Structure 1
């Protein structure tokens, strides 16, 4: 009798203990600091371009991986190629993990130039992570006389040069053509000051511009029909390997003289699709969000949407990204190259 009672007590205790363990994830989720919160993702551009697509990609998948399942929304803060959004994120956004920003590659270039408009230290952001590595296609309208590098060189001898559109001086849409000038020995004209990709594309359609440097995924997400209908001729791609969607387009590295190739490493280092939070987000909240970011990256639905955008997915965890940015801003070879082509 006593043995039966003891066995019953032990069985009950085991069941209760097992139930407690099984409820731990649920309890942790219910106690999450993000339960009932709204996380805002700031896209540092106008709607319709690659940066906007990036922000909406995060908003569509991130919340379900954050304990507490917070609502995630996007707000656009265009201006100065992401600088206005970055300054806001660094100086004015709450430091509690409820505001995340897309990080413009131009911030690195502004850091190199010691731009007084830059009211932040790039390495002090709390980085959430990188989801993709993005090179740029450089293209022109097919009806221009600039449809190859050799054609541009020939036109240069006649005092003609292609006109590209760019968001800002310190933006890839300007930096890439300027780097091509330095590396390939060509002359181009870059008109910068556009609020976003959509406005540049409109001027290309109108014939006010000849072309641009355009993030690979963004081109296929916004104007794949230009490629399909041969409206544009893609001259090169700024990535270590050719893009398998356009296998006949050479990389800039293939076109570059041997003594210029080391400079390309500096360009490759700033082509990531990155998210960050303000400095000073509490460590426990940072860990929750970084873990959710990594979990989202493994989600099949998320990967499907990344593929639709044509990006090369490449996860870099937030803590690794903080170290990478710290090293980059103190790399005088890279910073010196950026200053050379932008000054």
Structure 2
């Protein structure tokens, strides 16, 4: 009886394995639409990246790729729909490094940023940039540190989201930089705050700050990576500016399936993605948004999400951050 049960289990496992392999070989079916879910409104860097890759997937696979924008809930609305979708490869979600931060800052966060997804691969990454107003007397990070610690200076900084707030607090924790956090709902109001002198400094994306630096309205003090940005070759990196350690802060972008998607489909999609990222026109377009192209394997992206999550948890504990949620 036990032998019969064992044989039945082996046969069932073999049938499942063969079925999964066949499904991957047949993926994607010509003409069957792939839904590409973006957790932000149209027009931003994430949306443009998704449409760029989606167009190339359409050409490569001869199947329609439909971009669906589902903004709101700090990416939860979009990525929850991905996590709950069919595990057949026809629903892909665009995600960023900020998504895992939700698990840290929200006690009632409904998703597991690791276990609920099968990661395909990363697209690119970009540091943040720390800047002051162009009429400020501060010209470098060390001067900013010193000015922020002057008694009764009422120093404050603007952030557009949890990601930039968290990054600022990590830098503050590693240095003598001080400043009261003033949150804003997006880059535009945060930038308006620094321009109208409501705050003394800002940390935001290189994409958002670049026009204001080019027009002379902001003075960049530091990019938040450990190497200089190609878009800002004269701006010091964190090490040059005097921030100790080897940590970096910024944003990266990638794609994910719902957890349980067959491994062969994940690998096939990863190969297609990396082929697209190697195309000269795609690389040039991505780099025009101050994003460094960064292809990876599914395993590398999974490791990065895990690493980010652990870094966030450690930083929160060390800096005693309270997100009030």
Alpha-carbon contact 1:49-1:198 (below 8 Å) kept? no
1:141 match? 133
What is the distance in 1 between the residues matched to 2:190 and 2:69? 17
Pair member with larger Rg: 1
Match of 1:282 in 2: 262
Aligned with 2:64 (options 66, 71, 75): 71
- Aligned position for 1:256: 242
1:223-262 → structure 2 map (5 Å cutoff): 224-256=210-242, 260-262=244-246
Separation in structure 2 between the aligned mates of residue 36 and residue 242 of structure 1, nearest angstrom: 44
Match of 2:293 in 1: 313
* C-alpha distance after superposition, 1:66-117 (max 9, x if no partner): x3x2222323222343233333322x3332222222223223333345x333
Structure 2, unaligned runs of 5 or more: 1-22
Q: Deviations over 1:127-170 (max 9, x none)?
A: 111121321111233134555431453254142213313223xx
Question: Would you say 1:46 and 2:35 are equivalent positions?
Answer: no
Name which of 99, 103, 112 aligns with 1:111: 103
Pair 1:244–1:297, CA change in 2 (3 A): closer
TM-score between the two structures when normalised by the length of structure 2: 0.78
Alignment of 1:81 with 2:74, yes or no, is yes
TM superposition score normalised by structure 1: 0.74
- Structure 1, gaps ≥5 residues long: 1-27
After TM superposition, where is structure 1 displaced by more than 6 Å over at least 4 residues in a row?
A: none
**In 1, are the aligned partners of 2:74 and 2:102 still within 8 Å (CA)?**
no
Deviation at 1:232?
Answer: 0.8
Shift in Å, 1:29: 12
CA drift of 1:208 comes to 5.3
RMSD: 3.1
Distance 1:72 1:199 in 2: 33
Question: CA, structure 1 residues 277+205, in 2 after alignment: closer, same or farther (shift >3 Å)?
Answer: farther
The reply to whether residue 213 of structure 1 matches residue 226 of structure 2 is no
Query: Does the 8 Å CA contact 2:133/2:218 hold for their aligned counterparts?
Result: yes
Residues in 2 aligned to 1:305 and 1:108: alpha-carbon distance in whole angstroms: 27
How far apart are the structure 2 equivalents of 1:183 and 1:230? 29
In 2, the alpha carbon distance for the partners of 1:60 and 1:138 equals 34
SS at match of 1:310: coil
Does structure 1 residue 188 correspond to structure 2 residue 179?
yes
The answer to whether residue 134 in structure 2 is matched with residue 167 in structure 1 is no
Counterparts of 2:317 and 2:203, CA distance in 1: 19
Q: Using the alignment, how far apart are the partners of 2:192 and 2:86 within structure 1?
A: 36
CA contact (8 A) 1:145 1:152 kept: no
Residue 335 of structure 1 pairs with residue 319 of structure 2:
no
SS in 2 for 1:309: coil
Contact 2:155 2:200 in 1 (8 A): no
The question of whether the paired residues in 2 share the 8 Å contact of 1:129 and 1:318 is answered with yes
Q: Within 1, Cα distance between the matches of 2:312 and 2:99?
A: 14
What residue is the counterpart of 2:30 in the other structure? Answer: 35
Separation in structure 2 between the aligned mates of residue 199 and residue 58 of structure 1, nearest angstrom: 30
Q: Distance in 2 between matches of 1:44 and 1:188?
A: 30
